[in-house]
Chains A and B, each alone.
Chain A
Amino acid sequence: MTLTLAGRFVRRSHWLLASAISLGLATPALAEWKSDDGTLEVRGFVDDTMIVRDEIGLTKQRVQGQLEFYKTLPASGMFSSFAIGGIVRASYDAAFDLNDDEFGNKAGGSLSYFMPGNPPFFSYITGGSPPFTPPTNIVYAGTFGPDGSGANGAIPLPGTLGTINSPGNPNQGLRFAAGDIYNYSDGGVMLATPVRPCDKDARGCLENYMDKDLNDLRYKEFNSDWDWLREFYIDTSIPTTDSGQELSLRIGRQQVVWGRTDLFRVLDVVNPMDFSRENLYAEFEDSRIPQWMINAEYRVGPTKWLEDLNFQLIYKIEDFRPHDLGQGGEPYAILGAGNLFRAMANCWDNGCTVGNFPGPGVAVDFPAHSIGIREVDLPNHTEIGGRIEGVWKGVGFSLNALYFYSQFPSLRGGIPTDDPFTPGVEAVFHPYDIAFDVEFPRLFMMGGSADWYSEAAKASFRIETSYTQDEEFADTSKPKLYSESDVFRAVFGFDRPTFIRFLNNDRAFLISGQIFYQRLLDHETYNVNSVGLPTFDKIGFMDWESNVLLTLLIQANYMNDRLTPQIITAFDTKAEAGVIGPSLEYKPNNNWVFKLALNLKWGSNHGAIPADDDRTANAFPPATCAPPLAMGGSPLCGAPYSSFGGPYGFEPLGRFRSGPIGTAYNEDEVQFSLRYQF
């Protein structure tokens, strides 16, 4: 954890702070605005957030404004209340202009795969009579396609017709897809990803999924989904009994919050999340993507046995929206999935050079339509859910069910591809080929939660569990490279206000901890491959069978809660990666809020955990048959078989093992924000 830019940042922060305070003193205080008749309330804020990442520089310089309104209308007829509410948000993130060589139109560059060529090896494994153009640079074999001078060291496969370079796929605006987290020193697969906004460089952009242009990135809310209209809904209630029972309806774009957890979600999955906002670390309220829904609740209230009882049904009336994971080249791209997807999509569309393939020390040019991501299928069918919630003997509980689509993508193999080794063999299914469509599988989740207070512990506790059917995970043992699995998730958390008198005599520290558990119930790994040969490492599911994540929050308050130091930390036990976020918030008055924070990561694996990368699968027999089998004339070479599990590399599946914390290992940041609220 080093912060070479911290000093410069702090100096700049001081200037900003002084300016803001001066401005604040000079600015008349504003409060929530209310109409004369009291039926319309308007409030909001304007803020500026600056985030600087170690060795990268500015990752966010966002000016943002938000207005919240709520208009109460006269009740009439069978309705006892009627109101319209909404939130409008607009922002401009100057990081894409101020740091455009990292995240804007000048991002990326040309790449070289610094590895010695090995044409004899490659010609050998493909039959001993190379039909391929030998590398022109025998010292450093690979570059991403010839740059016009013919200095291409990568070995072009036959389908590339000698070159993958074309005006549409130049060696510029590229980065290694995992270069931010992984140095490839273990010989893992190397992929290059375009990183410029999609209007500048359309390569690898996935339509309607990861296809943001520069304005989409800079002006986040002004997109085709009208995200500037963050929430807009009608509230109404219909009394059903004299004792206060009522049917309550909220119809419109809204957030529906189900969970009781912080930082990670178990049941709170109704709305997708915008992880491109600030990875995991934005407040859920800000990073949830509101959706158009009908939200009906029947409020029973107290009954003979229950202190409170409520039934809820939700029905989404908007097209499916997945999580925004951030796209290739975006500063916040959780798991690095955006980079991987864009690299793979470019491979599919244009062909690409893959380093350390088929083994360490070799780079090859794949033709288009042989590996990569072909397309994204966004589903458009019903999503519906329900919840029963109540309080029994002081214990709050809920039972939840949701029939929905996974908001995380699944990479489904099995699509028809071209055999890069055999021109003419086109558009056929090649088992174990790393060629995918992005799908969002249909899921059914059921779960429940409870919270209660323990006098003995002087703490409140919460549990939350979910059981989800048919989630999809990468599985290198399967011909289509994915499997379904039911998943059990649970969290146990506590909140305990605790006095630490020598630090603060008047105000308790809030200590809040959570333990998250996830288990893939159909997880399978194998020590033999699909033809029964022993593997070097385990193949199958590359995600963990079970994992535990821990979070801890300690929050203090001084100066009558106007000065709030806080530390939040999280640790992924399997990835052995953690994050700690100390922060200090100061509110000099009702209108101004200043916040200075760090976000620091650590990890025993430097964040990158190898996984089976499928290199040793025989996806294009016999060309990709393992050398020992090929040399021995094994008949197994004539048919596809699954991976041998080695060599392992980080790309592409290691990122799912490293998790959102581990993959952000190098994203140490200093954050400063100031807000004027009213």
Chain B
Amino acid sequence: MKTLLIAGMAAASLASFAASAEVSDQVIKNAFGLYDGGTLKAAGFEPGVKINKENADKFKDIMDPFTARYVKQGWFEIQTTPSFSLPQNANYIKQTKQNADKVSLTPDGMLANFTAGRPFPQEPNASDPQAGLKLMWNFQRSINAGDSETIHPFWWTFRNTKTGQTERQLRFEWHFLNWKHRVMFEPMPDIQPNPANIFRSIYSIVLEPFDLSNTQLLIHRYENDLQRDDGWLYLGFQRRVRRLAVGQITDAFLGTDAMIEDFEGYNGRLSDYKWTYKGTQNILMPYEKHDEQPVLDTEPAGDKDGFKFVKFGGQGNCFPQVTWQLRKSYIIEGNPKDPNHPLSKRLIFMDSESATLPVVLLYDKKGTPWKYFPICKSHSDHHLAKNKGVGVAIDDCALFFDEQAMHCTTLQFKSYINPEQNPSTQFNVQNLRKTGR
């Protein structure tokens, strides 16, 4: 009896210790408060300078290799601004502080003891063989799109980079929902019932052009990263839901220059890649304040809120005309485990503050540069008024550029972090049928 009592007391004590263990303030400040003291600096770089083909060499050390090459070739110019913080949602930071010290990786690379927040806010250690994977978990559990996000309208434009000709333009509506680990909107932390243990769902519908209109995509990503996503496609011309063979995520999506795997920088199972942390570097990233952009596009016009989209210009009108700033980034190299994968390498420059992926470079099977995916993020207080204070780096624009084919798909977003337009009932198969006409 006495032994049992001691054991019980010990267990209670451990539980109490575990419950009270928190990540240190220094770790939290390092992860989320880097820009509180002002802008980042780099030798020879003064925020506000415009980088173009004449001075590109001078700044090549603060640009990723693809951006540096494109600017050097004169394909586009970069207007820089001082760095500023994109403050992350306060509860996300709080959950990180309360829970991150308990989180670990299982032998097969899955998260253990994770509740909410950033799983691994600590600075990556180059000697840790799992450092790259931990960083990617930080991305997977980031608030990249908040707990739920609507992007509508969402314009995807196919362009010939050589000629600038616009070939097709798709108008989408996209919705994102986190079923678990929620930090912004009730219910928190999880939506119930969730019998399949879905972590996150993506729903999109094509509104234009006519031949694709009513095409809807639903993807469920499961909490268990080893479990393959499930996907359904509603085809307007068939009026029925078709089960997607989701394993083929390296297929180009609806003819764009993006693979399904490329959404948001990486849209697949972490277990499909070997991730290696390659170092930390301050580089330029397309992080900006939407309402302070020197130029915005007049097309597509007619937004009912008067919203103007990010403008694209440069070679073939493929490159976003937004301001860039110096950001602390973690460089992660991902190598696909599948020998038939079309990539040899996915080189990611992760923003340390938001754990999002604003610059992603793809190399083909031979190791030759292939595709370039910058994703612009706006400060949420400088975007739509209704995004003010949400604490999410707002998706503002993106580019999928295939430099081998000299073809690009440009993405113009009108993003809105909100729960009202993203009810869980929107993320089931029946909704595809309901919405399809």
Contacts and interface: CB of A to CB of B under 8 A. Distances in A.
A43 B209 CA distance: 9
B158 interface: yes
Given A453-B246, A590-B208, A560 B195 contact: no
A79 to B, nearest CB: 15
Closest 10 CB pairs of A and B: A561-B255, A677-B210, A244-B425, A497-B248, A460-B243, A590-B209, A458-B247, A451-B243, A560-B255, A508-B251
Interface string B6-31: 00000000000000000000000000
Name, among A268, A307, A455, the residue most crowded by chain B CB atoms within 10 Å (CB to CB).
A307
Interface in A239-263: 244, 246, 248, 255, 257, 259-260, 262
Interface stretch (A57-65, A298-306, A620-628, A639-647): A298-306
Contact of A308 (B209, B304, B428): B428
A517 B193 CA distance: 39
B190 to A, nearest CB: 12
B245 A307 contact: no
A283 interface: yes
Given A284-B239, A304-B193, A453-B245, A32 B255 contact: no
Contacts of B169: 590
Given A452-B243, A590-B208, A507 B168 contact: no
B293 interface: no
Contacts of B252: 506-507, 557, 560-561
A393 B405 CA distance: 41
A45 B210 contact: yes
A316 interface: no
30 contacts: A31-B209, A38-B304, A43-B208, A70-B437, A244-B423, A257-B240, A260-B242, A260-B243, A262-B238, A285-B236, A285-B238, A297-B430, A297-B434, A303-B193, A389-B430, A453-B246, A460-B242, A460-B243, A462-B243, A495-B242, A497-B248, A497-B251, A499-B342, A508-B251, A560-B168, A561-B254, A562-B167, A589-B166, A590-B168, A590-B169
Contacts of B45: none
Given A453-B245, A455-B247, A458-B245, A562 B168 contact: yes
B340 interface: yes
Interface string B203-219: 00001111101000000
B255 to A, nearest CB: 2
B194 interface: yes
A560 B167 contact: yes
A120 interface: no
Nearest to A258: B240
A146 to B, nearest CB: 54
Contacts of A497: 245, 248, 251
Contacts of B424: 244, 301-302
A310 B428 CA distance: 10
Contacts, number: 168
A678 interface: yes
Interface string B386-423: 00000000000000001001010100000000000001
B194 A589 contact: no
A459 interface: yes
Contacts of A323: none
Interface in A40-55: 43-45
Nearest to A561: B255
B244 A453 contact: yes
A534 interface: no
Contact of A495 (B220, B245, B430): B245
Nearest to B228: A455
Contact of A260 (B171, B240, B430): B240
Nearest to A497: B248
Nearest to A455: B228
Interface residues of A, number: 70
A235 to B, nearest CB: 8
Interface in B251-304: 251-252, 254-257, 304
A313 interface: no
A305 to B, nearest CB: 6
A677 B211 CA distance: 8
A85 B429 CA distance: 21
Interface of A: 31-32, 36, 38, 43-45, 68, 70, 85, 244, 246, 248, 255, 257, 259-260, 262, 268, 283-285, 288, 297, 299, 301-308, 310, 389, 391, 393-394, 396, 451-453, 455, 458-462, 495-499, 501, 505-508, 557, 560-562, 587-591, 593, 677-678
A589 B168 contact: yes
B196 interface: yes
Given A495-B243, A589-B168, A562 B255 contact: yes
B185 interface: no
Nearest to B232: A396
A505 B342 contact: yes
Contact of A396 (B243, B245, B423): B243
Contacts of A310: 430
Interface residues of B, number: 57
Name, among B244, B246, B251, B424, the residue most crowded by chain A CB atoms within 10 Å (CB to CB).
B251
Contact of B194 (A260, A302, A461): A302
Contacts of B195: 302-307
A483 to B, nearest CB: 34
Name, among B220, B245, B430, the residue most crowded by chain A CB atoms within 10 Å (CB to CB).
B245
A194 to B, nearest CB: 37
A80 B132 CA distance: 47
B230 interface: yes
B168 A31 contact: no
A573 B232 CA distance: 32
Contacts of A262: 238
Given A32-B208, A38-B304, A68 B245 contact: no
Contacts of B242: 260, 460, 495
A393 B196 contact: yes
Given A285-B237, A587-B168, A557 B243 contact: no
Contacts of A590: 168-169, 208-209
A308 B240 CA distance: 17
Given A32-B208, A70-B437, A497-B245, A308 B429 contact: yes
B209 A396 contact: no
Contact of B213 (A43, A302, A391): A43
Nearest to B192: A302
A591 B248 contact: no
Nearest to B254: A561
Interface in B97-126: none
A302 B198 CA distance: 11
A565 to B, nearest CB: 14
Given A497-B248, A508-B248, A589-B167, A302 B193 contact: yes
Contacts of A561: 252, 254-255
Contacts of A288: 239
Contacts of A452: 243
Nearest to B235: A285
B209 A677 contact: yes
A301 B425 contact: yes
Contacts of B237: 283, 285
Name, among B237, B257, B424, B425, the residue most crowded by chain A CB atoms within 10 Å (CB to CB).
B425
A593 B211 contact: yes
Contacts of B250: 499, 508
Given A260-B240, A302-B195, A453-B245, A587 B211 contact: yes
Given A45-B210, A255-B239, A308-B428, 14 more contacts: A32-B213, A268-B240, A297-B430, A304-B195, A306-B195, A307-B428, A458-B245, A495-B243, A507-B251, A560-B255, A560-B256, A561-B255, A590-B209, A591-B209
Interface in B294-341: 304, 340
Given A32-B208, A561-B255, A391 B245 contact: no
Contacts of B407: 560
B313 to A, nearest CB: 21
B243 A299 contact: no
A591 B212 CA distance: 11
